[in-house]
Structure 1
Amino acid sequence: MNKDDINRLIKLRKELHQYPDISHDEGATAAKIQAFFEPLEPTKVLDKLGGNGLAFIFDSKQKGPTTMIRCELDGLPITEESNAKHKSTIDGRSHACGHDGHMAIVAGVGMDLAKNPISKGRVVLLYQPAEETGEGAKKVLKDKRFPTIKPDYAFALHNLPGYPKNEIVLKKGPFAAASKGMVIHLKGKTSHAAHPENGNSPALAMAKIIAGLEALPESMNGFCLITVVNAVLGEIAFGTTPGKATIRATLRTYDNDAMERLTKFAAELVTVIAKSHHLGIDISYTEHFASTVNHEAAWEQVNHAAKKLKLKTKHIRNPFRWSEDFGQFSLNTPTMFFGLGSGKTQPQLHNSNFDFPDTIIPSGVGMFNQIIHQLNR
C-alpha cells in the first residue's frame, strides 16, 4: 500500500473511533462503511445482513473458492478516557476493543480488490454486527441471503495487546473459548425482619450456589471456568427479609462439548441446592459464544501468508480464555482466526484508554491480501 492509501485508512479509522455504535445500533457506522465502499464498485452489496451487517462481494465470474474476510461493526458501552483529538464524541461509548481498526483493515482489502481484481472465485468482505454480545454472527448465518454467499473459507483477525506490534499470533484448533452467561432466579418468601422464621429467605442457598458454581470446574477434566459476575439479594429494606435473589455467572470452556457438560452440571447443582431450601428456581442463558476453532487447511493459508510477508509469528499452545462471535462461523465453515500484535505496552482490550494503533493497519491489510492472492488469484 502507498502512503496515500494508508493515510486514507487512518482517516477512516479515526472517524469511526469518534462515532462508535454499540451492538444492534450500528446503523450510522454501517452507512459510513457503505459510503467508503461505493467508489470501489463491488459486484454486489448485501445490506442489513443479520441486522446492520454489510457484505461486499467481489466476483471474478470464474470458478473458484469463495473467501470471506470478516470484521466487526460494534463498539462498547465504555466511557473513553483519552486526550486524543479523535476520542469518542458519544458519552458512554467507545471503540475500546479496536473494531474501528479491524474495519479500516478490511476497507484496505476492498481498496486492493478494486485495483487488483481477483481471477477466480469470489471474495466476500463481511462487516458483522453485534459481535460483543455474541448474537451477530448467528443472525448473519440465519439471514435468508447468507446461503448465496456461503464461503469455502472464512478468515478474521483481532488485535492483541501484550504482543509486539505486527506479530502474527497463530494456533491450530481452538483459538478462543466458548462462553455463555447463566442467569439464576431464586424465589422464596418475605417476612418481617423481626420474625425471619415466617418467611423463606434465599440468602443461604445463594451463598451455597455461588461457592458451588465457582468450585464446580475443579471436578471436571480440561479447562472449565465459572465466574460469578453479579449477585442481588432482596431489597434495601431493613425491616424485611429477602424473598428473591438473582445470581449471574459466566461459563467458559475451550470446546463446545465441554460447554454442554459444564452447563448441565451447573444447572443440576443449582437445582439441587434450590430445592433443598424449598425455593422456586428459574435458569436462563444469554450471550452464547461458540468456541472459535481454526481449521488446519485455513491455518496453512494464514501461516504461509505470514511467511511470504516476512512477518514475525508466535505459535501459542493454549487458547485464549475470552470469546469471539466468529466461533459461529467455525461450526459451518473452515475458519482461521489469528492475532495481530498491537504492542507490548498497549492498554488491554476493553480498557477505557484503549486506542487502536494505526501503525499495524498495513500488516493487517497485507495478511488478508496475501491470503486472497493464494486462494483467488
Structure 2
Amino acid sequence: MPVLNRIADFAEEMKGWRHHLHQHPELEFECHQTAAFIQDRLREMGVDEIHPGIAKTGIVAIINGQGDGPTIGLRADMDALPIVEATGADYASTVPGKMHACGHDGHVTMLLGAAKYLCETRRFAGRVALLFQPAEEDGGGGQVMVQEGVMDRFNVTEVYGIHNAPGLPFGHFHTNPGPLMASVDTAFVYITGRGGHGATPHECVDPVVAVVAMVQAVQTIIPRNVYALDEAVISVTQIHTGTASNIIPEEAMFCATIRCFNPEVRKLLKKRIYEIVEGHAMAFNCTARIDYDWGYPATVNHPDQAHFAGLVAAEVSGEGAVLTDAPREMGSEDFSYMLEARPGAYLFLGTGPGAGLHHPAYDFNDEAAPIGASFFARLVERALPLAAK
C-alpha cells in the first residue's frame, strides 16, 4: 500500500490525534474543543492562514503552494453522535452519552495528516483550503459554510471529501461519476381526533385507525407513483399514540424518512404524502398537520472530478482497489451542498471488518488514516502541479 513515506513516518502521531478527538466528542455546531485542538495542530504545522468561527465552530485553513494557481478545497466533518459508547477502548469517550460513532474523528485526522505533509513539502502551485466542518450529523453545517460564503471568500475552485466505510475492504476506494448518496427528507404527521372510552367508539373520532390507514397508504407511493428505475425509499420509523388499554386517544402521530436521487421524484414524494394524509384525515373525520423537514439534497459527484479522484486513489491503493462505478446508496451527506456550490467528488474509503456506522461498538480503524491523508495530499499535488523547470 503506497502510503506516502513522510505520512507513514508520523502515522503514530496521527493515531494520537484521533484518540484525543475520540475521547472528547462534541455534537452539531458545539465543536468548541475540537476546533481548538485542530487550530493548535494547524499552528504547529505552519499553515499560512487560519479562519475560525465559520458556521459557529468551523474552520478554514489555507496552505499556500509555490506560485500562483487555483484553490482546492478538502473537507472533513468534526461532529459526533448522541450515542453511549460500547467499544471498550482505552481511549473511549469521556463524555457521557456522546461518541464518535461515524468516524469523523478519523476524517479530521486524515485531513490534519495531509495538512502536515503539504505544509512541509509544498510541492504544488496554488492553494489548499482545509474545510473543517461542524454539524454534518444534524444541522447541515455544510450548507451553513456555503451560505456564509466560504467558496467565494477563499476562491475554492474544486472540493473533495472522504467518508470511511466499515465493511468495505481495507484501503479500497468507492465512488461514481454521478449521484452517490440520496437526498433525505422527514415527515412528522400529527393526527387529532376526539378521545373517549374504548367501549363507545361511536362517540369518538379515532386517530388510531386513521394513522394505521395513512401508514399503509404511504407505503404504496413508491410502487405505484415512482418509476421503477428511479430508486426511492419511504420508511415509517415511528408511530406514537395511546395511554391505556381502554381509552381511545385524542392524538396520534407517525414519522417517515424519505430518500431518493431525482429532484423531481423528491417533489412528487412530498406531494403524495400530503395528498394521502389530507385525504385520509378527511375520510376518518380527523384533522392532520404535517411538519415536513426538507433535508439534505442528493450527493452528486461531478464526472470529471470523480474520474480524477479515482485516478489519484489508484495511485495510493492500486487500480484493483478502486471502484469508480460504485452503486449509489440511500444514506445522505451534507457534503452535497458543497458539491452544489463547486465541482468536486466524494469517495468512500474502506476500513475493513467492524461494527457499522452509528453503532455503539463502532471505532474508526487508525490504519486507514494514513491512506486517506495520502489520497488528499496526492490529489493536491496532481491537481496543482508545479511548472516544469
Residue pairs, 1:289-308, within 5 angstroms: 289-308=296-315
Task: Report what 1:369 is aligned to.
Answer: 377
CA 68–245 in structure 1, closer or farther in 2 if over 3 Å, else same: same
Task: Report what 2:265 is aligned to.
Answer: 258
Secondary structure at the aligned position of 1:302 is classed as helix
> Which stretch of structure 1 is more off in the superposition, 298-307 or 357-366?
298-307
Secondary structure at the aligned position of 2:369 is classed as helix
Secondary structure at the aligned position of 1:226 is classed as strand
Partner deviation per Cα, 1:313-366 (whole Å, 9 max, x = no partner): 1234420111111111122211200111110x2211111111111111111011
Partner deviation per Cα, 1:32-89 (whole Å, 9 max, x = no partner): 1111111223222221211211111123484422211111111111111122111111
| Residue 192 (structure 2) pairs with residue 187 (structure 1) | yes
Residue pairs, 1:212-291, within 5 angstroms: 212-219=217-224, 220-221=226-227, 222-234=230-242, 236-238=243-245, 240-286=247-293, 288-291=295-298
Q: Is the CA contact 1:80–1:88 (under 8 Å) kept in the aligned structure 2?
A: yes
Q: Is the CA contact 2:179–2:298 (under 8 Å) kept in the aligned structure 1?
A: yes
CA 50–122 in structure 1, closer or farther in 2 if over 3 Å, else same: same
| Residue 363 (structure 2) pairs with residue 355 (structure 1) | yes
Task: Report what 1:154 is aligned to.
Answer: 159
Task: Report what 2:335 is aligned to.
Answer: 326
- Aligned partner letter, 2:63: F
Task: Report what 2:210 is aligned to.
Answer: 205
> Which stretch of structure 1 is more off in the superposition, 170-179 or 253-262?
253-262
Task: Report what 2:3 is aligned to.
Answer: none
> Which stretch of structure 1 is more off in the superposition, 290-299 or 317-326?
317-326
Q: Is the CA contact 1:166–1:342 (under 8 Å) kept in the aligned structure 2?
A: yes
Match of residue 45, structure 2, among 28, 40, 44: 40
> Which stretch of structure 1 is more off in the superposition, 311-320 or 148-157?
311-320
Q: Is the CA contact 1:18–1:88 (under 8 Å) kept in the aligned structure 2?
A: yes
Q: Is the CA contact 2:7–2:374 (under 8 Å) kept in the aligned structure 1?
A: no
CA RMSD in angstroms comes to 1.8
- TM-score (norm. length: structure 1): 0.94
Secondary structure at the aligned position of 1:331 is classed as helix
Q: Is the CA contact 1:43–1:57 (under 8 Å) kept in the aligned structure 2?
A: yes
Q: Percent identity?
A: 26
Aligned residues: 375
Task: Quote the offset at 1:103 in angstroms.
Answer: 0.6
Rounded to whole Å, the distance in 1 between the matches of 2:154 and 2:19 is 30
Structure 2, unaligned stretches of length 5 or more?
1-5
Task: Quote the offset at 1:119 in angstroms.
Answer: 4.2
Q: Is the CA contact 1:131–1:325 (under 8 Å) kept in the aligned structure 2?
A: yes
- TM-score (norm. length: structure 2): 0.91
- Aligned partner letter, 2:339: S
Partner deviation per Cα, 1:82-135 (whole Å, 9 max, x = no partner): 221111112211111111111100001110121022543221111111101251
Task: Report what 1:313 is aligned to.
Answer: 322
CA 145–373 in structure 1, closer or farther in 2 if over 3 Å, else same: closer
Rounded to whole Å, the distance in 1 between the matches of 2:179 and 2:149 is 28
